[in-house]
Chains A and B, each alone.
Chain A
Amino acid sequence: DTGVSQNPRHKITKRGQNVTFRCDPISEHNRLYWYRQTLGQGPEFLTYFQNEAQLEKSRLLSDRFSAERPKGSFSTLEIQRTEQGDSAMYLCASSSGTSGGRNEQFFGPGTRLTVL
């Protein structure tokens, strides 16, 4: 088990382009989370999945953002028509166990997005 992995690690794109990031959680972790971290700030919650179901979305997740976890394993986060304000580190995390919030979330290394 190599932990949570994210690809690509870095992405530079031009404003208006679409980008897609992938997250592979720890095997058999049923929960998967996406966070966004801007410079000098802590991570902010975007959305989370339990198995393949997307159970909560932050108001930060505008209509240009969509996330999927089609088979309850890996997840993708797509940003359409990127804007300069989308530049950030996008973090993925996964966890297992019972619900209620006590479980450790294991984080991936992140995808750093730069929108020119």
Chain B
Amino acid sequence: AQTVTQSQPEMSVQEAETVTLSCTYDTSESNYYLFWYKQPPSRQMILVIRQEAYKQQNATENRFSVNFQKAAKSFSLKISDSQLGDTAMYFCAFNFGNEKLTFGTGTRLTIIP
């Protein structure tokens, strides 16, 4: 079975600080795709960052970066210089070679002014 675990239901951090959200998974697949999605309050889900499992280099998108540890099956998201607009639910999600996304349970992140 393929599972995705986000062990931090809620986190909060002061504006401008750095925060890391954790995600672990289990799969027997060798190639897959990893995503972090953001769901702001009462707004639709949007893609934050994407990583391909066969690429060793960690993906970076402006203030967002990932730490992908394939052997440990870990995929964390780091948000630098956090902003009030980063307040949202964050979901890690995986595509294990088919067309559907498998999501974790999410981390509710609050940025404190």
Contacts and interface: CB of A to CB of B under 8 A. Distances in A.
B91 A42 contact: yes
Interface in A50-82: 50, 55-56, 58
Given A42-B93, A108-B44, A99 B99 contact: yes
B33 A102 contact: yes
A42 B99 contact: no
Interface string B68-104: 0000000000000000000000010101111111111
A110 interface: yes
Contact of A40 (B47, B97, B98, B105): B105
A31 B44 contact: no
By CB atoms of chain B within 10 A, which of A35, A101, A104, A110 has the most?
A101
Nearest to B92: A42
Chain A at the B interface: SS class:
loop
A90 interface: no
Range, interface on chain A: 20 to 34
Given A41-B105, A42-B105, A101 B50 contact: no
A33 B95 contact: no
B45 interface: yes
A85 interface: no
9 contacts: A33-B100, A42-B93, A42-B103, A42-B104, A42-B105, A45-B102, A58-B100, A101-B32, A108-B44
Q: Which 8 A-B pairs have the closest CB atoms?
A: A42-B103, A101-B95, A45-B100, A107-B45, A109-B44, A102-B33, A104-B47, A42-B91
Interface of B: 4, 32-33, 35, 37, 43-47, 50, 52, 91, 93, 95-106
Given A35-B101, A42-B105, A101-B98, 20 more contacts: A33-B100, A40-B105, A41-B105, A42-B4, A42-B103, A42-B104, A42-B106, A43-B103, A45-B100, A48-B100, A56-B99, A91-B45, A101-B33, A101-B95, A102-B33, A104-B35, A104-B47, A105-B47, A107-B37, A107-B45
